[in-house]
Structure 1
Amino acid sequence: MTAQTTAAPSLAAKAGAIGTATTNTTTKLNRTLGFSDLVTYGLIFMIPVAPIAFYGSQVAGAHGLVATAYLIGLVAMLFTAYSYTQLVKLYPYAGSVYNFVRQGTGSGGVGFIAGWSIILDYLLLPAVTTLVGTSFLTSLIPVVPGWVWAIVIIAAITTISILGINVLSKLSALFLGLQVVLIVWFVGATLLAVANGSVHFSLAAFYNPQDFSFSNVLSAIGLVIVSFLGYDAISTLSEEAENPRRTVPKAIITSILIIGAVFVLLTFLAGSVQPDYTKINPDSGFLDILGIVGGAPLQLFASIVIVLSFSLASGEECVTSVSRILYAVGRDGILPRQFGKLNEKTHTPVFATLVVAAVSLVLALATSTDILGNAVSYGALIAFVLLNLTVIWKLFITSDDKSPRSVLTHVVAPLIGTAVSVWIFTGLGPLAWTIGSVWLLVGVVIIAIRTGFFTKKLGASENLQEYFA
């Protein structure tokens, strides 16, 4: 892999044209990531062992039907993920859904609302992963206060993010390896228990005739959707990927299929080990299940892997992803231009990263996973709806291609993605609606200020294909 750190000769002029004359015109994000790096990044972001941390809080509300919730989430997200692949081929730039919707609709305002919505999730997620890591660390080493662990975690993930994508990529591969070991250990121990007759396969995690209802399944969908956000995170690295029009779409679909299969497998086996969800402790649900098949050694190893996976692995990628979106919006001059600057040595948006770290620390110290968990899917679902509608607009309505294949891929598929997102959106709680609505209102205020109360266009109107020519 080779680094690309210099711009085209006309970059300075084009940067000035799109309102980024004060940004580093000779510094670009390092384009070094290959397909396997992107898949690893997406898997780490989605945390293959996430059910071990969330199972206890999911299983009661879902009446045990957690595997069904993950299966529905996988199918639902595949349609939206496919829409991502269509737009990333056209606009392989940092900023993810912000740039996809802005470029696809030609509207800076609509693009900003899409990006602003998903920024909410990315700002909340580092705090969530920090709180999860803090909880496990305080249980392992109770003499250290939780707030100290929170500061240590935020400092570590911020440093890694600032050092650059190459450092993060190497650490991600290491953390993914540890999660694979944990998954193989649990699956092997469960199969051994099935073989000796102490555990029997059960479909309780998929279907229970006494408790099955879609409302029960919906209760677990919020955290499930968060668990699949890694495919969007992959798209934020488009300017750091080699041949992004090919590798990024392929990595998006590959990672979501792998992670979906892992989630369903883990929760199916958990439901087999303990079919009666009423006997599962909400605080230690999956750890208790690990203890049944693997004893204390498996529980201890799982606790260590959870700490590393949430607090460091996923946390650092959350910070990295949202800093890239803020960088793209700042580069367009919508947010303060400091957000759109890259450090000349590390080729990373240091200012954006530090802002994310500060917000994450405040949230981790002042809130709880219950509060953040309720709100974390709101912004992503808004962004998903806008992105799917952009596919319909850009690739069908304004396109000359009205073939049956285009109808299927550019109308039917994104409409299904939109419908599923709206369906899940209606199941979010009042707290999520309140926090999300306030956040969107702030976004509208920003647009009003930046457009002179809607009297001029918002941000850049130029095509980024020309900007990077």
Structure 2
Amino acid sequence: MSTQLFRRKPVNHMRAGAAHGPELKRTIGTFQLTMFGVGATVGTGIFFVLSEAVPKSGPSVIISFLVAGLAAGLAAICYAELASAIPVSGSTYSYAYAALGEVVAMGVAACLLLEYGVSTAAVAVGWSQYLNKLMDNVIGVHLPDSLSHAPWDDSPGVLNLPAVILIALCALLLIRGASESAAVNTVMVIIKLSVLGMFIVIGFTAFDSGNLSDFAPFGVSGIGAAAGTIFFSFIGLDAVSTAGEEVKDPQRTMPRAIIFALLTVVTIYVLVALAALAAQPWQQFEGQEAGLAQILETIVGSPWPGTVLAAGAVISIFSVTLVTMYGQTRILFAMGRDGMLPRQFAQVNPRSQTPVFNTVVVAVVVAILAALVPLDKLADLVSIGTLVAFIVVSLGVIILRRTRPDIPRGFKVPGYPVTPVLSVLACLYVLSGLSWVTWAWFLLWLAIVLTFYFFWGRRHSELNAGATVVDPDAPTQDDAR
């Protein structure tokens, strides 16, 4: 049983995945992949997570962004090494399978499915808020609460219909093909960065240092709590690594895209947060819908900048939903190919070369979440899944450096082993700020996935076929398990 649970999938077998299952088409370059990372992060946090994070820490939320960015940055460097060494679909799930064993990989898969599924739903809920704001400003129509709020929201409704429509549109685009999705995402990200640049410029014209005077009203604990919520917005770095099998020259492209995306994201987040907090007292952020648009309207005294920002948010948050849905479908694809899920999840449409079945399943599940669950119940669950995945990646770097030093790596973590150790410690600090309720839901979900693995996954694992797949370059028998 122990041998079965902790058997590892050979790295060379992963890299030659085409010989052992369906293959995806390599069409994505460095710039488009960087835009994937930026598209999945900028927007998720800045456009609506401030209303969740600022009430926990006050103006010191700026420090919370830096703390979360530090933890994400250290993990991103670790991702860059593993992505260049194991350029396949599946992200942290695949890395854990190679370094830590099958049961650990399934535990990580639970984190990733939670991370991507819940974040997609949360982003769709935020998109609904900005769509309402845009429609109200442009045509004077505001959707009733019954069609724009979940049943358990502060303003109870029947379902969040705009969120469901957004998810359906993203699913249709993903079914058409990865290159088409990447091209659309790139355009949306450029629009997003332009709109946020406008917010920064206008926001700094109303800079009031008095709004920052009570800088940390809830002390260090408030900074940690806000950092845990904010971490919800850094999953784009992980989304880059899910594209391993659809990237041209992955050993060079993936590390570059991860690092470029990280630098862009942290810079934009800090500048926008500073401009917002200096322009509006922190007490006004709580419960504020489409907050950035409202701040601009107050500064200018006219609805036009708020309308422009709301339009930019409607367009650009679409890209967040698109990329997070993309990431989840590719993780399910890798799991299906490994036998951890039914084989339907590994099927690829012969024309579009995309996993259509996965996309439909993800769209249905996420649409139900987005339609019925409020935003504030979703954000922290995303953070916990992301942080656990980041910890596993950091440990994976250390383990594979020791067990497989021979693997070709297009990028190596600088400052090894200090950097991955600091990454683990930073993520543990952010995890400590999450509530016990979040932990309880996370552990329940983890138990469900591991139960599925024990009763189904381990019996259908690809590694059961004739015992094991042998890695011809493995230096020891242990590495070939």
Sort the Cα spacing of 1:464 and 1:334 in 2 relative to 1 into closer, same or farther, 3 A.
farther
Match of 1:136? Answer: 130
Sort the Cα spacing of 1:463 and 1:290 in 2 relative to 1 into closer, same or farther, 3 A.
farther
Match of 2:293? Answer: 287
Match of 1:199? Answer: 207
TM-score normalised per structure 2: 0.83
Sort the Cα spacing of 1:389 and 1:47 in 2 relative to 1 into closer, same or farther, 3 A.
same
Q: Which amino acid aligns with 1:129?
A: V
Q: 1:336 aligns with which of 327, 330, 342?
A: 342
Sort the Cα spacing of 1:223 and 1:210 in 2 relative to 1 into closer, same or farther, 3 A.
closer
Task: Compute the RMSD of aligned alpha carbons.
Answer: 2.8
Cα pair 2:41 2:265 within 8 Å, conserved: yes
Match of 1:167? Answer: 180
Q: 2:263 aligns with which of 252, 257, 270?
A: 257
Compute the displacement of 1:399 (Å). Answer: 4.4
Compute the displacement of 1:108 (Å). Answer: 1.8
* Separation (CA, whole Å) in 2 of partners of 1:328 and 1:32: 18
Q: How does 1:68-107 map to 2 (within 5 A)?
A: 68-105=63-100, 107=101
* Separation (CA, whole Å) in 2 of partners of 1:333 and 1:138: 43
> 2:118 aligned with 1:124, yes or no?
yes
Match of 1:67? Answer: 62
Q: Which amino acid aligns with 1:189?
A: I
Cα pair 1:376 1:432 within 8 Å, conserved: no
Q: How does 1:172-251 map to 2 (within 5 A)?
A: 172-191=185-204, 193=205, 199-200=207-208, 204=212, 208=214, 211=217, 213-251=219-257
Sort the Cα spacing of 1:83 and 1:170 in 2 relative to 1 into closer, same or farther, 3 A.
same
Greater mean deviation of Cα atoms: 314-323 or 450-459: 450-459
Match of 1:298? Answer: 305
Cα pair 2:42 2:269 within 8 Å, conserved: no
SS at match of 1:345: coil
Compute the displacement of 1:465 (Å). Answer: 9.9
Match of 1:113? Answer: 107
Compute the displacement of 1:96 (Å). Answer: 0.4
Compute the displacement of 1:362 (Å). Answer: 1.0
* Separation (CA, whole Å) in 2 of partners of 1:400 and 1:328: 24
- For each residue in 1:133-191, what CA deviation from the matched residue of structure 2 results, as whole angstroms up to 9, or x when unmatched? 22233343424633432332121011011111111112112211221221222222234
The runs of 5 or more residues in structure 1 that have no matched partner are 1-9
Q: 1:411 aligns with which of 411, 417, 422?
A: 417
Sort the Cα spacing of 1:456 and 1:364 in 2 relative to 1 into closer, same or farther, 3 A.
closer
The runs of 5 or more residues in structure 2 that have no matched partner are 1-15, 136-140, 149-159, 474-481
* Separation (CA, whole Å) in 2 of partners of 1:356 and 1:463: 33
Cα pair 1:161 1:317 within 8 Å, conserved: no
Cα pair 1:45 1:313 within 8 Å, conserved: yes
Q: Which amino acid aligns with 2:225?
A: S
Q: Which amino acid aligns with 1:86?
A: E
Q: Which amino acid aligns with 1:70?
A: F
Cα pair 2:33 2:240 within 8 Å, conserved: yes
Q: How does 1:341-352 map to 2 (within 5 A)?
A: 341-352=347-358
* Separation (CA, whole Å) in 2 of partners of 1:108 and 1:159: 33
* Separation (CA, whole Å) in 2 of partners of 1:210 and 1:113: 36
Q: Which amino acid aligns with 1:69?
A: S
Cα pair 1:91 1:465 within 8 Å, conserved: no
* Separation (CA, whole Å) in 1 of partners of 2:307 and 2:472: 50
* Separation (CA, whole Å) in 2 of partners of 1:303 and 1:11: 43
- For each residue in 1:215-268, what CA deviation from the matched residue of structure 2 results, as whole angstroms up to 9, or x when unmatched? 111221233212111111001001111100111011101101111011001111
* Separation (CA, whole Å) in 2 of partners of 1:110 and 1:348: 27
> 2:380 aligned with 1:374, yes or no?
yes
* Separation (CA, whole Å) in 2 of partners of 1:396 and 1:123: 33
Cα pair 2:60 2:216 within 8 Å, conserved: no
* Separation (CA, whole Å) in 2 of partners of 1:73 and 1:55: 14
* Separation (CA, whole Å) in 1 of partners of 2:201 and 2:217: 30
> 2:274 aligned with 1:268, yes or no?
yes
Sequence identity of aligned pairs in percent? Answer: 24
* Separation (CA, whole Å) in 1 of partners of 2:310 and 2:188: 14
Paired residues, number: 432
- For each residue in 1:90-122, what CA deviation from the matched residue of structure 2 results, as whole angstroms up to 9, or x when unmatched? 1000100011111123x2222222122111111
Q: Which amino acid aligns with 1:356?
A: V
Q: 1:34 aligns with which of 29, 34, 37?
A: 29
SS at match of 2:365: helix
Compute the displacement of 1:212 (Å). Answer: 5.8
* Separation (CA, whole Å) in 1 of partners of 2:84 and 2:207: 47
Q: How does 1:380-395 map to 2 (within 5 A)?
A: 380-395=386-401
Match of 1:149? Answer: 162
Sort the Cα spacing of 1:231 and 1:365 in 2 relative to 1 into closer, same or farther, 3 A.
same
Greater mean deviation of Cα atoms: 47-56 or 57-66: 47-56
Q: Which amino acid aligns with 1:98?
A: Y
Match of 1:45? Answer: 40
SS at match of 1:422: helix
* Separation (CA, whole Å) in 1 of partners of 2:44 and 2:422: 28
* Separation (CA, whole Å) in 1 of partners of 2:28 and 2:373: 35
Compute the displacement of 1:42 (Å). Answer: 0.7
Sort the Cα spacing of 1:234 and 1:463 in 2 relative to 1 into closer, same or farther, 3 A.
farther
